[in-house]
């Protein structure tokens, strides 16, 4: 029987006594000492009424069956690094699959690796390093496998090895009605298509099978430039990226101007351990502007995806995403205006293209394969950021759901072009007809009336 203090902290609307016995031991309520560690995500504050922490797919099914009887919000969480995803809530239930975090080599010759959604990409990189392998993931070791591998995965090996979803060979999910399903090219191929780009709306992923690539040590260059000539710098960096071979993937970050000065921090990974190749690849970047800092290392990929931080998110992040083919003079002029306004504290452009563009636009639910760049801007408030972001929309061909926080249906139409969206809605109606999974983006009736 829970203590009086625990009972007093309980939230209205939830029938705590009906929590299945198998889930009670690991479940966390607001009055529980473990609550502070699980209430919020990395970027978002939360106050859920109950965090269920299933330990296997059968328990995930039980958690979903219980959650569906409760008239409160439902969130799904793997590692809590969601920017778009609301993997926490206020007064609702979180189904947290962080305990499903194993990393296992299934087939050494085929480099086939089975990974739980609760594993983090830093752990995956570290586990694969002794094999001389890597799975293209993101730039940050704390990000969870579950959120990233269901949406895309734009990372430091992207131009050489594609999106994370491009390395996916099978995924296992528990559907809203509790049915466990496996999806691959051979099994439930419609679900497999949709799960690679929009898996967050279809079920709770409980395992991913991914083909790793042979990756040894890589070149990692952090070059910092004076970028006072912001538009010109962005154009030159964009041209250098597009002229580079696909073993080069570069990210660029600009923050608020300080004393009127703008600096650009670039992080470039060269998928080679050969010092001469690394230096040759960096030559075009070194000449982009006045260098104010530089560090070049040869490190394992695991050394590039930086370590994890505890979750202490507060409030709601405001982020805007856009994908585009070229950093044109018109785009870079608008981007410079945004950066110099001080309304974005974190503006990032990631190189795409290369292997990402080898995949046909209709092969997965991530259709924007012609984009060479992903742009994201974080701001303190939506209205203030959108004053500068809205005029930039005309430059974009689409957006990446994981970097967008605006839940307006138009954003989904930008993420999924018309034919992709039609096909996705059809799969959604088949696998989640009651729209149980809507905590991230809502692909329910508000988007397109049920036909
Ligand atoms: C610091 C930081 C760096 C990032 N870097 C990159 C990057 O380099 N490349 C990139 O592509 N993205 C990056 N992202 C975005 C990231 O991919 C997404 O936010 C992703 O959702 C995080 O995964 P998670 O499991 O940690 O998220 P969570 O917060 O646990 O989940 C986010 C959402 O994903 C869905 N979801 C989570 N788990 C499951 C599951 N098991 N089954 C079905 N749906 C699920 C849910 O809708 C949930 O609301 C970054 C985010 C942060 C905060």
Per-residue model confidence (pLDDT) at position 308: 64
Q: How many Å lie between the centroid of ligand 1 and the Cα of residue 144? A: 6
Task: Compute the distance between CA of residue 3 and CA of residue 8 in angstroms, rounded to an integer.
Answer: 9
Distances (CA, A) of 349 to 75, 221, 251, 314: 29, 16, 6, 25
User: Is the CB of residue 174 less than 8 Å from the CB of residue 62?
Assistant: no
The residue contributing the CA closest to ligand 1 atom 37 is 147
Token pair listed for 190: 């419609």
Among residues 97, 156, 95, 168, which one has the least CA distance to residue 125?
Answer: 156
Per-residue model confidence (pLDDT) at position 2: 83
Q: Where in the chain is the domain with CATH 3.30.465.10?
A: 103-214
Residue 267 Cβ < 6 Å to ligand 1:
no
Per-residue model confidence (pLDDT) at position 322: 98
Per-residue model confidence (pLDDT) at position 191: 98
Residue 43 Cβ < 6 Å to ligand 1:
yes
Please identify which residue in the block is written with the tokens 């397109």: 448
C-alpha torsion sign, points 110, 115, 121, 124: negative
Domain 217-412 coded CATH 3.40.462.20: yes
Domain 103-214 coded CATH 3.40.50.720: no
Q: How many Å lie between the centroid of ligand 1 and the Cα of residue 77? A: 9
C-alpha torsion sign, points 128, 133, 136, 141: positive
Task: Compute the distance between CA of residue 210 and CA of residue 118 in angstroms, rounded to an integer.
Answer: 15
Radius of gyration of the chain (CA): 22
Q: How many Å lie between the centroid of ligand 1 and the Cα of residue 402? A: 7
Task: Compute the distance between CA of residue 357 and CA of residue 244 in angstroms, rounded to an integer.
Answer: 15
Please identify which residue in the block is written with the tokens 């249906």: 409
| Order of strands across the sheet that contains 318-324 | 291-300, 217-226, 263-270, 248-254, 344-351, 373-379, 318-324
Total-model pTM: 0.97
Looking from the CA of residue 403, the nearest atom of ligand 1 is: 15
Residue 82 Cβ < 6 Å to ligand 1:
yes
Q: Which CATH number fits domain 4-96: 3.40.50.620, 3.30.43.10, 3.40.190.10, 3.20.20.370?
A: 3.30.43.10
Task: Compute the distance between CA of residue 235 and CA of residue 252 in angstroms, rounded to an integer.
Answer: 12
Q: How many Å lie between the centroid of ligand 1 and the Cα of residue 83? A: 7
Token pair listed for 263: 């600096």
User: Is the CB of residue 68 less than 8 Å from the CB of residue 176?
Assistant: yes
**How confident is the prediction along the chain (451 residues), in pLDDT tens digits per residue?**
788 989 999 999 999 999 999 999 999 999 999 999 999 999 999 999 999 999 999 999 999 999 999 999 999 999 999 999 889 999 999 999 999 999 999 999 999 999 999 999 999 999 999 999 999 998 999 999 999 999 999 999 999 999 999 999 999 999 999 999 999 999 999 999 999 999 999 999 999 999 999 999 999 999 999 999 999 999 999 999 999 999 999 999 999 999 889 999 999 999 999 999 999 999 999 999 999 999 999 999 999 997 666 666 888 899 999 999 999 999 999 999 999 999 999 999 999 999 999 999 999 999 999 999 999 999 999 999 999 999 999 999 999 999 999 999 999 999 999 999 999 999 999 999 999 999 999 998 777 544 4
Q: Where in the chain is the domain with CATH 3.40.462.20?
A: 217-412
Residue 289 Cβ < 6 Å to ligand 1:
no
Among residues 394, 291, 403, which one has the least CA distance to residue 344?
Answer: 403
Residue 41 Cβ < 6 Å to ligand 1:
yes
Q: How many Å lie between the centroid of ligand 1 and the Cα of residue 236? A: 31
Task: Compute the distance between CA of residue 405 and CA of residue 437 in angstroms, rounded to an integer.
Answer: 17
Q: Where in the chain is the domain with CATH 3.30.43.10?
A: 4-96
Task: Compute the distance between CA of residue 3 and CA of residue 382 in angstroms, rounded to an integer.
Answer: 42
Residue 313 Cβ < 6 Å to ligand 1:
no
User: Is the CB of residue 328 less than 8 Å from the CB of residue 395?
Assistant: yes
Q: How many Å lie between the centroid of ligand 1 and the Cα of residue 300? A: 23
């Amino acid at each position: 029987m829970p203590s009086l203090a625990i009972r007093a902290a309980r939230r209205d609307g939830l029938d705590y006594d009906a929590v299945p016995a198998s889930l009670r031991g690991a479940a966390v309520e607001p009055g529980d000492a473990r609550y502070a560690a699980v209430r919020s995500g990395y970027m978002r504050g939360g106050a859920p009424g109950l965090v269920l922490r299933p330990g296997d797919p059968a328990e995930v099914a039980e958690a979903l069956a219980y959650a569906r009887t409760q008239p409160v919000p439902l969130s799904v969480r793997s590692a809590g690094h969601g920017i778009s995803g609301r993997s926490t809530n206020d007064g609702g239930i979180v189904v947290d699959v962080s305990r499903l975090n194993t990393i296992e080599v299934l087939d050494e010759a085929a480099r086939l690796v089975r990974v739980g959604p609760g594993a983090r990409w830093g752990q995956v990189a570290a586990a694969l390093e002794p094999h001389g392998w890597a799975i293209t993931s993101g730039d940050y070791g704390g990000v969870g496998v579950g959120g990233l591998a269901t949406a895309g995965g734009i990372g430091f090996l992207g131009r050489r090895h594609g999106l994370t979803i491009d390395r996916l060979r099978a995924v296992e999910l528990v559907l809203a009605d509790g049915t466990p399903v496996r999806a691959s090219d051979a099994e439930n191929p419609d679900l497999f298509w949709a799960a690679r780009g929009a898996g967050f709306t279809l079920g709770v992923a409980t395992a991913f099978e991914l083909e790793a690539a042979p990756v040894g040590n890589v070149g990692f260059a952090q070059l910092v430039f004076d970028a006072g000539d912001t538009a010109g710098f962005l154009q030159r960096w964009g041209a250098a990226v597009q002229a580079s071979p696909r073993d080069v993937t570069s990210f660029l970050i600009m923050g608020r101007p300080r004393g009127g000065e703008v600096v650009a921090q670039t992080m470039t990974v060269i998928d080679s351990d050969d010092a001469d190749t690394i230096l040759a690849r960096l030559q075009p970047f070194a000449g982009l502007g006045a260098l104010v800092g530089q560090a070049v290392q040869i490190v394992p990929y695991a050394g590039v995806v930086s370590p994890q931080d505890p979750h202490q998110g507060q409030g709601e992040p405001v982020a805007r995403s856009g994908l585009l083919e070229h950093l044109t003079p018109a785009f870079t002029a608008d981007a410079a205006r945004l950066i110099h306004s001080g309304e974005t504290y974190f503006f990032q452009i990631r190189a795409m293209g290369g292997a990402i563009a080898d995949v046909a636009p209709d092969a997965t639910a991530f259709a924007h394969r012609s984009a060479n760049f992903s742009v994201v801007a974080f701001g303190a408030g939506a209205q203030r950021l959108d004053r500068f972001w809205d005029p930039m929309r005309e430059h974009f061909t689409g957006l990446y759901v994981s970097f967008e926080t605006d839940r307006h249906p138009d954003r989904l139409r930008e993420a999924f072009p018309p034919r992709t969206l039609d096909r996705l809605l059809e799969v959604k109606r088949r696998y989640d007809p009651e729209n149980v999974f809507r905590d991230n983006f809502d692909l329910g009736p508000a988007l397109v009336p049920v036909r």
